[in-house]
Protein backbone atom coordinates (compact mmCIF):
# COMPACT_ATOMS: atom_id res chain seq x y z
CA UNK A 1 0.00 0.00 0.00
CA UNK A 2 1.42 3.36 -1.06
CA UNK A 3 1.79 5.94 1.68
CA UNK A 4 0.98 9.49 0.54
CA UNK A 5 3.62 12.18 1.02
CA UNK A 6 2.64 14.81 3.60
CA UNK A 7 3.90 18.33 2.98
CA UNK A 8 6.68 19.68 5.14
CA UNK A 9 5.56 22.42 7.50
CA UNK A 10 7.19 25.14 9.53
CA UNK A 11 5.46 26.72 12.50
CA UNK A 12 5.63 30.23 13.88
CA UNK A 13 3.54 32.01 16.51
CA UNK A 14 0.78 30.37 18.52
CA UNK A 15 -2.70 31.84 18.08
CA UNK A 16 -5.64 32.12 20.46
CA UNK A 17 -9.06 33.35 19.38
CA UNK A 18 -10.67 34.06 22.76
CA UNK A 19 -14.42 34.66 22.38
CA UNK A 20 -16.28 36.15 25.36
CA UNK A 21 -19.96 36.73 26.04
CA UNK A 22 -21.04 39.54 28.35
CA UNK A 23 -23.57 38.82 31.11
CA UNK A 24 -25.70 41.83 30.26
CA UNK A 25 -28.16 41.28 33.12
CA UNK A 26 -25.35 41.26 35.65
CA UNK A 27 -23.79 44.31 33.98
CA UNK A 28 -26.99 46.35 34.14
CA UNK A 29 -27.62 45.39 37.78
CA UNK A 30 -24.07 46.07 38.99
CA UNK A 31 -23.29 49.22 41.01
CA UNK A 32 -21.54 52.00 39.10
CA UNK A 33 -18.39 51.50 41.17
CA UNK A 34 -18.06 47.84 40.10
CA UNK A 35 -18.67 48.70 36.46
CA UNK A 36 -16.06 51.47 36.51
CA UNK A 37 -13.50 49.08 38.00
CA UNK A 38 -14.33 46.45 35.38
CA UNK A 39 -13.89 48.97 32.58
CA UNK A 40 -10.60 50.29 33.98
CA UNK A 41 -9.10 46.83 34.49
CA UNK A 42 -10.45 45.58 31.17
CA UNK A 43 -8.98 48.53 29.27
CA UNK A 44 -5.66 48.13 31.08
CA UNK A 45 -5.52 44.40 30.23
CA UNK A 46 -6.47 44.84 26.56
CA UNK A 47 -4.12 47.80 26.06
CA UNK A 48 -1.26 45.90 27.68
CA UNK A 49 -1.92 42.95 25.37
CA UNK A 50 -1.89 45.14 22.27
CA UNK A 51 1.40 46.71 23.41
CA UNK A 52 2.72 43.15 23.94
CA UNK A 53 4.03 44.09 27.37
CA UNK A 54 4.10 40.41 28.29
CA UNK A 55 6.49 39.10 25.60
CA UNK A 56 9.42 40.03 23.37
CA UNK A 57 7.26 39.84 20.25
CA UNK A 58 3.73 39.07 19.14
CA UNK A 59 0.42 40.73 18.31
CA UNK A 60 -2.97 41.22 19.96
CA UNK A 61 -6.18 42.93 18.92
CA UNK A 62 -9.69 43.45 20.29
CA UNK A 63 -12.89 43.00 18.29
CA UNK A 64 -16.63 43.45 18.82
CA UNK A 65 -18.31 40.25 17.62
CA UNK A 66 -21.45 40.52 15.50
CA UNK A 67 -24.40 38.22 16.14
CA UNK A 68 -25.30 35.91 19.03
CA UNK A 69 -22.25 33.64 19.20
CA UNK A 70 -20.17 36.00 21.35
CA UNK A 71 -19.74 39.66 22.25
CA UNK A 72 -15.98 40.21 22.36
CA UNK A 73 -13.01 38.60 20.65
CA UNK A 74 -9.48 39.03 21.90
CA UNK A 75 -7.01 37.73 19.31
CA UNK A 76 -3.53 36.86 20.57
CA UNK A 77 -0.39 35.77 18.67
CA UNK A 78 2.64 34.88 20.80
CA UNK A 79 5.88 32.90 20.38
CA UNK A 80 4.97 30.15 22.88
CA UNK A 81 1.94 28.33 24.26
CA UNK A 82 3.08 29.41 27.72
CA UNK A 83 2.62 33.04 26.63
CA UNK A 84 -0.91 32.26 25.47
CA UNK A 85 -1.72 30.36 28.67
CA UNK A 86 -0.55 33.28 30.82
CA UNK A 87 -2.70 35.76 28.88
CA UNK A 88 -5.78 33.59 29.35
CA UNK A 89 -5.31 33.39 33.11
CA UNK A 90 -4.43 37.07 33.46
CA UNK A 91 -7.78 38.02 32.00
CA UNK A 92 -9.56 35.92 34.62
CA UNK A 93 -7.98 38.10 37.32
CA UNK A 94 -9.57 41.28 35.96
CA UNK A 95 -12.82 42.70 37.28
CA UNK A 96 -14.16 42.57 33.70
CA UNK A 97 -13.94 38.76 33.76
CA UNK A 98 -16.64 38.71 36.46
CA UNK A 99 -19.13 39.91 33.83
CA UNK A 100 -18.10 37.56 31.01
CA UNK A 101 -18.19 33.91 30.12
CA UNK A 102 -16.11 32.21 27.48
CA UNK A 103 -18.40 31.60 24.53
CA UNK A 104 -15.82 29.79 22.40
CA UNK A 105 -12.11 29.65 21.72
CA UNK A 106 -9.70 28.32 19.13
CA UNK A 107 -6.03 27.39 19.55
CA UNK A 108 -3.68 27.08 16.57
CA UNK A 109 -0.20 27.96 15.31
CA UNK A 110 0.76 29.92 12.20
CA UNK A 111 2.26 27.68 9.58
CA UNK A 112 3.57 27.47 6.04
CA UNK A 113 3.81 24.24 4.13
CA UNK A 114 5.65 22.72 1.23
CA UNK A 115 2.60 23.40 -0.92
CA UNK A 116 3.53 27.09 -0.76
CA UNK A 117 7.25 26.85 -1.45
CA UNK A 118 8.97 23.50 -1.64
CA UNK A 119 12.21 25.32 -2.55
CA UNK A 120 12.22 27.00 0.85
CA UNK A 121 12.21 23.66 2.66
CA UNK A 122 14.72 22.05 0.31
CA UNK A 123 17.22 24.94 0.35
CA UNK A 124 16.99 25.82 4.04
CA UNK A 125 19.28 28.67 5.05
CA UNK A 126 20.40 29.15 1.44
CA UNK A 127 16.84 29.84 0.24
CA UNK A 128 16.21 33.05 -1.67
CA UNK A 129 15.93 35.94 0.79
CA UNK A 130 12.77 37.28 -0.84
CA UNK A 131 11.01 33.94 -0.31
CA UNK A 132 12.46 33.66 3.19
CA UNK A 133 11.11 37.09 4.12
CA UNK A 134 7.69 36.19 2.75
CA UNK A 135 7.67 32.97 4.77
CA UNK A 136 8.69 34.93 7.86
CA UNK A 137 5.79 37.34 7.35
CA UNK A 138 3.41 34.36 7.30
CA UNK A 139 4.89 32.81 10.43
CA UNK A 140 5.04 36.08 12.38
CA UNK A 141 2.24 38.13 10.83
CA UNK A 142 1.39 41.72 11.63
CA UNK A 143 -2.32 42.08 12.28
CA UNK A 144 -3.76 44.26 9.49
CA UNK A 145 -5.31 47.67 10.13
CA UNK A 146 -8.60 46.40 8.73
CA UNK A 147 -11.98 47.12 10.31
CA UNK A 148 -13.59 43.73 9.62
CA UNK A 149 -12.59 40.20 10.66
CA UNK A 150 -13.97 36.83 9.63
CA UNK A 151 -12.78 33.67 11.42
CA UNK A 152 -13.66 30.06 10.67
CA UNK A 153 -12.10 26.63 11.22
CA UNK A 154 -11.91 24.05 8.45
CA UNK A 155 -10.97 20.48 7.62
CA UNK A 156 -10.00 18.72 4.44
CA UNK A 157 -12.63 16.11 3.56
CA UNK A 158 -11.98 12.41 4.15
CA UNK A 159 -15.09 10.85 2.62
CA UNK A 160 -15.68 7.80 0.45
CA UNK A 161 -15.95 9.89 -2.73
CA UNK A 162 -13.45 12.68 -2.04
CA UNK A 163 -10.54 12.05 0.30
CA UNK A 164 -7.91 14.81 0.31
CA UNK A 165 -5.37 12.61 2.04
CA UNK A 166 -5.55 9.94 -0.62
CA UNK A 167 -4.42 12.34 -3.38
CA UNK A 168 -0.77 12.38 -4.55
CA UNK A 169 1.27 15.36 -3.36
CA UNK A 170 1.54 16.99 -6.81
CA UNK A 171 -2.22 16.84 -7.31
CA UNK A 172 -2.84 18.43 -3.90
CA UNK A 173 -0.30 21.13 -4.70
CA UNK A 174 -2.04 21.91 -8.01
CA UNK A 175 -5.40 22.23 -6.26
CA UNK A 176 -3.98 24.68 -3.73
CA UNK A 177 -2.07 26.65 -6.35
CA UNK A 178 -5.26 27.22 -8.34
CA UNK A 179 -7.07 28.07 -5.12
CA UNK A 180 -4.42 30.66 -4.32
CA UNK A 181 -4.84 32.34 -7.70
CA UNK A 182 -8.33 33.39 -6.61
CA UNK A 183 -6.90 35.05 -3.53
CA UNK A 184 -4.48 37.09 -5.62
CA UNK A 185 -7.44 38.87 -7.21
CA UNK A 186 -8.25 40.25 -3.75
CA UNK A 187 -4.73 41.44 -2.96
CA UNK A 188 -4.83 44.67 -1.01
CA UNK A 189 -8.48 44.12 -0.09
CA UNK A 190 -8.41 40.89 1.93
CA UNK A 191 -5.54 39.64 4.11
CA UNK A 192 -5.40 36.20 5.67
CA UNK A 193 -3.69 34.44 8.55
CA UNK A 194 -3.58 30.65 8.21
CA UNK A 195 -2.88 28.63 11.35
CA UNK A 196 -2.67 24.88 11.78
CA UNK A 197 -4.65 23.25 14.57
CA UNK A 198 -4.17 19.50 14.12
CA UNK A 199 -3.74 18.22 17.65
CA UNK A 200 -4.62 21.61 19.14
CA UNK A 201 -8.35 22.00 18.45
CA UNK A 202 -11.37 20.39 16.80
CA UNK A 203 -10.51 21.24 13.19
CA UNK A 204 -7.32 21.09 11.14
CA UNK A 205 -6.88 24.78 10.36
CA UNK A 206 -8.10 28.13 11.60
CA UNK A 207 -8.51 30.83 8.94
CA UNK A 208 -8.73 34.51 9.82
CA UNK A 209 -9.59 37.00 7.07
CA UNK A 210 -9.29 40.78 7.39
CA UNK A 211 -10.72 43.52 5.19
CA UNK A 212 -12.08 47.04 5.38
CA UNK A 213 -15.13 46.15 3.29
CA UNK A 214 -16.99 43.06 4.61
CA UNK A 215 -18.40 42.38 1.14
CA UNK A 216 -14.86 41.80 -0.16
CA UNK A 217 -14.51 38.92 2.31
CA UNK A 218 -17.96 37.61 1.36
CA UNK A 219 -17.17 37.74 -2.37
CA UNK A 220 -13.82 36.01 -1.89
CA UNK A 221 -15.34 33.17 0.10
CA UNK A 222 -18.23 32.84 -2.33
CA UNK A 223 -15.89 32.62 -5.32
CA UNK A 224 -13.70 30.07 -3.56
CA UNK A 225 -16.74 27.87 -2.90
CA UNK A 226 -16.78 27.07 -6.62
CA UNK A 227 -13.11 26.07 -6.70
CA UNK A 228 -12.61 22.28 -6.45
CA UNK A 229 -10.25 22.68 -3.50
CA UNK A 230 -13.30 23.86 -1.52
CA UNK A 231 -16.24 22.28 -3.33
CA UNK A 232 -14.77 18.79 -3.25
CA UNK A 233 -12.48 18.77 -0.28
CA UNK A 234 -13.40 21.41 2.34
CA UNK A 235 -15.49 21.09 5.51
CA UNK A 236 -16.17 24.21 7.57
CA UNK A 237 -17.02 24.96 11.18
CA UNK A 238 -18.76 28.02 12.61
CA UNK A 239 -18.10 31.43 11.08
CA UNK A 240 -17.52 34.45 13.32
CA UNK A 241 -17.58 38.05 12.10
CA UNK A 242 -16.33 41.00 14.13
CA UNK A 243 -15.27 44.65 13.99
CA UNK A 244 -11.96 45.98 15.28
CA UNK A 245 -12.23 48.18 18.34
CA UNK A 246 -9.78 50.19 20.41
CA UNK A 247 -9.50 49.04 24.05
CA UNK A 248 -10.24 52.63 25.05
CA UNK A 249 -13.71 52.20 23.51
CA UNK A 250 -14.59 49.45 25.96
CA UNK A 251 -16.74 51.80 28.06
CA UNK A 252 -18.65 52.98 24.97
CA UNK A 253 -19.15 49.39 23.84
CA UNK A 254 -20.56 48.30 27.18
CA UNK A 255 -22.79 51.38 27.27
CA UNK A 256 -24.33 50.51 23.91
CA UNK A 257 -22.82 53.54 22.20
CA UNK A 258 -21.28 53.63 18.69
CA UNK A 259 -17.82 52.10 18.38
CA UNK A 260 -15.51 53.65 17.38
CA UNK A 261 -16.37 56.95 18.98
CA UNK A 262 -16.55 59.89 16.57
CA UNK A 263 -13.69 61.66 18.33
CA UNK A 264 -11.32 58.70 18.16
CA UNK A 265 -8.05 60.00 16.79
CA UNK A 266 -7.19 56.79 14.97
CA UNK A 267 -10.43 55.77 13.37
CA UNK A 268 -11.38 53.10 15.85
CA UNK A 269 -8.23 51.12 16.60
CA UNK A 270 -4.70 52.04 17.59
CA UNK A 271 -2.97 50.77 14.45
CA UNK A 272 -5.01 52.81 11.99
CA UNK A 273 -2.53 55.66 12.23
CA UNK A 274 0.18 53.48 10.72
CA UNK A 275 2.36 53.78 13.82
CA UNK A 276 5.24 51.39 13.27
CA UNK A 277 6.89 51.46 16.66
CA UNK A 278 6.49 48.35 18.77
CA UNK A 279 7.61 44.77 18.65
CA UNK A 280 8.71 44.22 15.06
CA UNK A 281 12.09 45.88 15.26
CA UNK A 282 13.46 49.04 13.67
CA UNK A 283 12.61 50.34 10.24
CA UNK A 284 14.98 49.90 7.33
CA UNK A 285 15.69 53.05 5.43
CA UNK A 286 15.54 53.52 1.70
CA UNK A 287 16.91 56.40 -0.39
CA UNK A 288 20.22 57.33 1.22
CA UNK A 289 19.42 54.81 3.95
CA UNK A 290 20.73 51.46 5.06
CA UNK A 291 19.46 47.95 4.69
CA UNK A 292 18.03 46.94 8.02
CA UNK A 293 19.59 49.70 10.11
CA UNK A 294 17.87 50.81 13.32
CA UNK A 295 15.72 53.91 13.42
CA UNK A 296 18.34 55.88 15.33
CA UNK A 297 20.92 55.17 12.65
CA UNK A 298 18.41 56.30 10.04
CA UNK A 299 18.06 59.63 11.88
CA UNK A 300 21.86 60.04 11.75
CA UNK A 301 21.82 59.47 7.99
CA UNK A 302 18.96 61.93 7.57
CA UNK A 303 20.72 64.63 9.60
CA UNK A 304 24.00 64.24 7.79
CA UNK A 305 22.34 64.44 4.40
CA UNK A 306 20.44 67.55 5.43
CA UNK A 307 23.80 69.14 6.24
CA UNK A 308 24.84 68.32 2.68
CA UNK A 309 21.72 70.08 1.38
CA UNK A 310 20.12 66.80 0.35
CA UNK A 311 16.40 66.36 1.00
CA UNK A 312 15.90 63.22 3.04
CA UNK A 313 12.27 63.51 4.06
CA UNK A 314 10.70 64.10 7.45
CA UNK A 315 10.45 61.49 10.21
CA UNK A 316 6.68 61.88 10.60
CA UNK A 317 3.88 62.64 8.18
CA UNK A 318 5.83 63.13 4.98
CA UNK A 319 7.73 59.89 4.55
CA UNK A 320 6.32 56.95 2.66
CA UNK A 321 7.12 53.28 2.99
CA UNK A 322 8.36 51.21 0.10
CA UNK A 323 8.64 47.62 -0.97
CA UNK A 324 11.31 47.11 -3.63
CA UNK A 325 11.78 43.68 -5.18
CA UNK A 326 13.99 42.57 -8.05
CA UNK A 327 12.95 40.00 -10.63
CA UNK A 328 14.63 38.15 -13.47
CA UNK A 329 11.28 37.49 -15.18
CA UNK A 330 10.37 38.78 -18.60
CA UNK A 331 9.40 42.43 -18.10
CA UNK A 332 6.13 42.09 -20.04
CA UNK A 333 5.03 39.06 -18.03
CA UNK A 334 6.05 40.77 -14.81
CA UNK A 335 4.13 43.92 -15.68
CA UNK A 336 0.91 41.97 -16.34
CA UNK A 337 1.17 40.34 -12.92
CA UNK A 338 1.94 43.65 -11.20
CA UNK A 339 -0.89 45.44 -12.98
CA UNK A 340 -3.37 42.87 -11.66
CA UNK A 341 -2.17 43.40 -8.09
CA UNK A 342 -2.11 47.16 -8.50
CA UNK A 343 -5.79 47.29 -9.43
CA UNK A 344 -6.56 45.73 -6.06
CA UNK A 345 -4.05 47.90 -4.18
CA UNK A 346 -5.82 50.98 -5.53
CA UNK A 347 -8.83 50.16 -3.38
CA UNK A 348 -6.81 51.34 -0.36
CA UNK A 349 -6.26 54.98 0.50
CA UNK A 350 -2.81 54.12 1.87
CA UNK A 351 -1.60 53.00 -1.57
CA UNK A 352 0.57 55.64 -3.22
CA UNK A 353 1.98 53.91 -6.27
CA UNK A 354 3.13 50.55 -7.65
CA UNK A 355 5.24 50.43 -10.81
CA UNK A 356 7.69 48.31 -12.77
CA UNK A 357 11.08 49.88 -13.46
CA UNK A 358 13.16 48.43 -16.27
CA UNK A 359 16.97 48.68 -16.31
CA UNK A 360 18.86 50.24 -19.19
CA UNK A 361 21.52 47.57 -18.77
CA UNK A 362 20.36 44.24 -20.21
CA UNK A 363 22.27 42.42 -17.49
CA UNK A 364 20.43 44.10 -14.60
CA UNK A 365 17.24 42.98 -12.91
CA UNK A 366 13.81 44.57 -13.26
CA UNK A 367 12.54 46.33 -10.12
CA UNK A 368 9.01 46.36 -8.74
CA UNK A 369 8.45 49.37 -6.49
CA UNK A 370 5.36 49.67 -4.30
CA UNK A 371 4.87 52.81 -2.19
CA UNK A 372 2.51 53.09 0.78
CA UNK A 373 1.63 55.61 3.45
CA UNK A 374 2.06 53.16 6.34
CA UNK A 375 4.61 50.51 7.21
CA UNK A 376 1.95 47.90 7.93
CA UNK A 377 0.26 48.41 4.57
CA UNK A 378 3.63 48.06 2.84
CA UNK A 379 4.38 44.84 4.71
CA UNK A 380 1.01 43.41 3.73
CA UNK A 381 1.66 44.29 0.08
CA UNK A 382 5.11 42.69 0.31
CA UNK A 383 3.48 39.33 1.00
CA UNK A 384 1.61 39.46 -2.31
CA UNK A 385 4.49 40.96 -4.29
CA UNK A 386 6.93 38.28 -3.11
CA UNK A 387 4.83 35.78 -5.06
CA UNK A 388 5.59 37.49 -8.38
CA UNK A 389 7.55 35.41 -10.91
CA UNK A 390 11.33 34.98 -10.57
CA UNK A 391 11.83 37.31 -7.60
CA UNK A 392 15.52 37.13 -6.69
CA UNK A 393 15.69 39.47 -3.70
CA UNK A 394 13.96 42.22 -1.77
CA UNK A 395 15.79 45.47 -1.15
CA UNK A 396 16.62 45.93 2.49
CA UNK A 397 17.80 42.35 2.97
CA UNK A 398 21.16 42.03 4.67
CA UNK A 399 22.41 39.79 1.90
CA UNK A 400 26.23 39.59 1.88
CA UNK A 401 26.30 42.32 4.55
CA UNK A 402 25.65 44.94 1.88
CA UNK A 403 24.03 48.36 2.31
CA UNK A 404 21.37 49.51 -0.14
CA UNK A 405 20.51 53.05 -1.16
CA UNK A 406 17.30 53.85 -3.01
CA UNK A 407 16.88 57.02 -5.06
CA UNK A 408 13.22 57.60 -5.86
CA UNK A 409 11.07 60.36 -7.31
CA UNK A 410 13.59 61.32 -9.96
CA UNK A 411 10.94 62.85 -12.20
CA UNK A 412 12.84 64.49 -15.05
CA UNK A 413 11.58 67.41 -17.11
CA UNK A 414 11.05 65.86 -20.57
CA UNK A 415 13.36 68.32 -22.32
CA UNK A 416 16.19 67.36 -19.94
CA UNK A 417 15.85 63.59 -20.03
CA UNK A 418 19.02 63.05 -22.07
CA UNK A 419 20.89 65.50 -19.82
CA UNK A 420 19.90 63.48 -16.77
CA UNK A 421 20.95 60.12 -18.22
CA UNK A 422 24.24 61.62 -19.42
CA UNK A 423 25.07 62.95 -15.96
CA UNK A 424 24.11 59.60 -14.44
CA UNK A 425 26.51 57.80 -16.80
CA UNK A 426 29.32 60.14 -15.72
CA UNK A 427 28.50 59.51 -12.07
CA UNK A 428 28.38 55.77 -12.66
CA UNK A 429 31.89 55.85 -14.12
CA UNK A 430 33.09 57.66 -11.01
CA UNK A 431 31.29 55.25 -8.70
CA UNK A 432 32.91 52.27 -10.38
CA UNK A 433 36.28 53.44 -9.02
CA UNK A 434 35.08 54.13 -5.47
CA UNK A 435 36.02 51.87 -2.57
CA UNK A 436 33.09 49.85 -1.27
CA UNK A 437 30.84 50.44 -4.29
CA UNK A 438 29.31 47.29 -5.75
CA UNK A 439 26.83 48.40 -8.40
CA UNK A 440 24.49 51.21 -9.37
CA UNK A 441 21.62 50.90 -11.82
CA UNK A 442 19.34 53.48 -13.40
CA UNK A 443 15.88 52.06 -14.00
CA UNK A 444 13.01 53.64 -15.89
CA UNK A 445 9.29 53.35 -15.20
CA UNK A 446 7.96 51.42 -18.18
CA UNK A 447 4.80 53.56 -18.10
CA UNK A 448 6.56 56.92 -17.83
CA UNK A 449 10.03 57.35 -19.33
CA UNK A 450 10.59 60.51 -17.29
CA UNK A 451 10.20 58.67 -13.96
CA UNK A 452 13.58 57.29 -12.88
CA UNK A 453 14.73 55.07 -10.03
CA UNK A 454 18.37 54.69 -8.92
CA UNK A 455 19.47 51.64 -6.93
CA UNK A 456 22.95 51.26 -5.46
CA UNK A 457 24.65 48.64 -3.34
CA UNK A 458 27.64 49.25 -1.09
CA UNK A 459 29.86 47.25 1.20
CA UNK A 460 28.86 49.44 4.14
CA UNK A 461 26.95 52.52 5.23
CA UNK A 462 30.20 54.47 5.58
CA UNK A 463 31.21 53.69 1.99
CA UNK A 464 27.93 55.14 0.74
CA UNK A 465 28.23 58.20 2.97
CA UNK A 466 31.69 58.93 1.56
CA UNK A 467 30.04 59.33 -1.83
CA UNK A 468 27.25 61.51 -0.43
CA UNK A 469 29.89 63.78 1.16
CA UNK A 470 31.81 64.15 -2.08
CA UNK A 471 31.96 67.29 -4.22
CA UNK A 472 30.81 65.26 -7.21
CA UNK A 473 27.59 64.32 -5.43
CA UNK A 474 26.97 67.93 -4.34
CA UNK A 475 27.39 69.08 -7.93
CA UNK A 476 24.94 66.40 -9.08
CA UNK A 477 22.38 67.52 -6.51
CA UNK A 478 22.73 71.13 -7.62
CA UNK A 479 22.38 70.08 -11.26
CA UNK A 480 19.25 68.08 -10.41
CA UNK A 481 17.46 71.12 -9.04
CA UNK A 482 17.30 72.52 -12.56
CA UNK A 483 16.20 69.45 -14.48
CA UNK A 484 13.93 67.56 -12.06
CA UNK A 485 10.25 68.31 -11.55
CA UNK A 486 10.54 67.52 -7.81
CA UNK A 487 13.45 66.71 -5.57
CA UNK A 488 14.22 63.04 -4.82
CA UNK A 489 12.80 61.58 -1.63
CA UNK A 490 13.90 59.41 1.22
CA UNK A 491 11.68 56.38 1.78
CA UNK A 492 11.44 53.64 4.41
CA UNK A 493 11.74 50.11 3.15
CA UNK A 494 9.13 47.69 4.50
Residues 61 and 190 in one domain: yes
Is there a domain that residue 2 lies in?
Answer: no
Write the CA distances from 67 to 42, 70, 215, integer angstroms: 22, 7, 17
How far CA 192 is from CA of 5, 71, 149, 224, in Å, comes to 26, 22, 10, 14
The domain containing residue 140 runs over which residues?
9-254
Dihedral class, residue 488 (left if φ above 0, else alpha if ψ from -120 to 50, else beta):
beta
Q: CA separation (Å) from 228 to 95, 234, 253?
A: 48, 9, 41
**Same domain (yes/no): 290, 154:** no
The residues of the chain scoring below 70 in pLDDT are 1, 116-131, 261-319, 396-402, 406, 408-409, 487-494
Q: Are residues 240 and 339 in the same domain?
A: no
Task: Please give the Cα distance from 376 to 351 (Å, whole number).
Answer: 11
Catalytic pick among 152, 186, 357, 410: 152
Query: Which pLDDT value is given to residue 46?
Result: 97
**pLDDT on residue 455:** 82
**CA-CA distance, 119 to 138, in Å (whole number)?**
16
Q: In CATH, what number is assigned to the domain containing residue 447?
A: 3.30.70.100
Helix 461-468 vs helix 295-307: angle between axes, to the nearest 10 degrees?
20
208 and 326 assigned to the same domain: no
pLDDT digit string, tens, across residues 299-329 = 566 566 666 555 454 433 346 788 889 999 9
Q: How far is CA 465 from CA 186, 401, 473, in A?
A: 41, 16, 10
C-alpha 324/C-alpha 289 separation (Å) is 14
Active site residue 152: yes
How are beta strands 148-156 and 366-372 bridged, if at all? Answer: unpaired
CA–CA distance, 488 with 494 (Å, rounded to integer): 19
The residue from 210, 233, 254 where one domain ends is: 254
Three-state DSSP class for residue 95: helix
Please tell me the total count of domains within the chain. 2
CATH number for the domain including 55?
3.30.70.1030
Residues 336 and 437 both lie in one domain = yes
**Does residue 305 sit in the same domain as residue 222?**
no
Residues in CB range of 4: below 8 A, 6 or more apart: 165, 166, 167, 168, 169
Are 314 and 208 in the same domain?
no
In whole angstroms, give the CA distance from residue 172 to residue 176. Answer: 6
Mark whether 112 and 227 lie in a shared domain.
yes
Q: What is the pLDDT of residue 116?
A: 66
Q: Is residue 325 part of a domain?
A: yes
Same domain (yes/no): 223, 319: no
249 plus 397 within the same structural domain:
no
State the pTM of this model.
0.64
Alpha-carbon distances of 420 from 26, 104, 269, 452, rounded to whole Å: 73, 63, 45, 10
User: Are 291 and 250 members of one domain?
Assistant: no
Residue 358 lies in a domain: yes
The DSSP string of 16-61 is EEEEEEE-HHHHHHS-HHHHHHHHHHHHHHHHHHHHTTTSSS-EEE
The full DSSP string for 344-356 is: HHTTSTTEEEEEE
Residue 170 neighbours by CB under 8 Å, 6+ apart? none
Amino acid sequence: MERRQPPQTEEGWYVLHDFRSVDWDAWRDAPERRRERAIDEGMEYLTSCERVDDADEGESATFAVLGHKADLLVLHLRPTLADIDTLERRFEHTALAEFTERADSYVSVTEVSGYMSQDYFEEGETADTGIANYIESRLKPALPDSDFLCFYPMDKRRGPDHNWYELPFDERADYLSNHGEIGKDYAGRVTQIIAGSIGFDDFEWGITLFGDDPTDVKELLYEMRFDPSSSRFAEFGQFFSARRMDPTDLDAYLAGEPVPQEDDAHGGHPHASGDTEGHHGGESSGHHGGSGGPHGDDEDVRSELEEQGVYAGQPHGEDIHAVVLYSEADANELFEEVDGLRQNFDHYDTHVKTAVYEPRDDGAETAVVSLWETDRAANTAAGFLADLPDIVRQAGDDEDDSWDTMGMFYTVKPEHRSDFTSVFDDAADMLADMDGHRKTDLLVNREDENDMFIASRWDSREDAMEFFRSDAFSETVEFGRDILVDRPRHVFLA
